Amino acid sequence: MAKYAVIKQNYEFRRAYGRGKSFVSPYLITYCFKKKYGGIQIGVTSGKKIGKAVVRNRCRRVIREAFRSMSAETRGSWDIVFVARTATRYKKSTEIAVIMKKQLREAGVIS
């Protein structure tokens, strides 16, 4: 399993939103920003529209687990931000992983 860091600072999220490429599906939005160095960093967000805190936390856990299953396939240095959508709360990590893999392949994060 490859190591990855977690995005915590607001400016890192804003950089991915503003300068990164976005990939949209009904269940997940992915922003990918190519860096020169620093390895893989991921951030996961979920807004209040999704539900209360328990539901938002579950969505974030599901997205993190889906990425963890494919983190060994990643290459290069990227900032990746995943945004949960309202339909995410009804999905399991294996279903989200299929969508995520398609989006990351489009972005060039995985081969």
Give me the number of domains the chain comprises: 1
The Cα–Cα gap between 24 and 35 comes to: 21
In DSSP terms, 79 is beta-bridged to 33, 41
Q: Could you tell me the CATH number of the domain that includes residue 90?
A: 3.30.230.10
- Asked if residue 57 belongs to a domain, the reply is yes
* CA angle centred on 12, ends 37 and 17, rounded to 5°: 105
Summarised one tens digit per residue, pLDDT across range 24-44 is 999 999 999 999 998 999 999
- Asked if residue 111 belongs to a domain, the reply is no
For residue 37, the enclosing domain spans: 5-106
Q: How confident is the model at residue 111 (pLDDT cuts 50, 70, 90)?
A: confident
Going from the C-alpha of 111 to that of each of 57, 88, 103, the distances in angstroms are 30, 25, 11
- Asked if residue 17 belongs to a domain, the reply is yes
Q: Is the pLDDT of residue 5 over 90?
A: yes
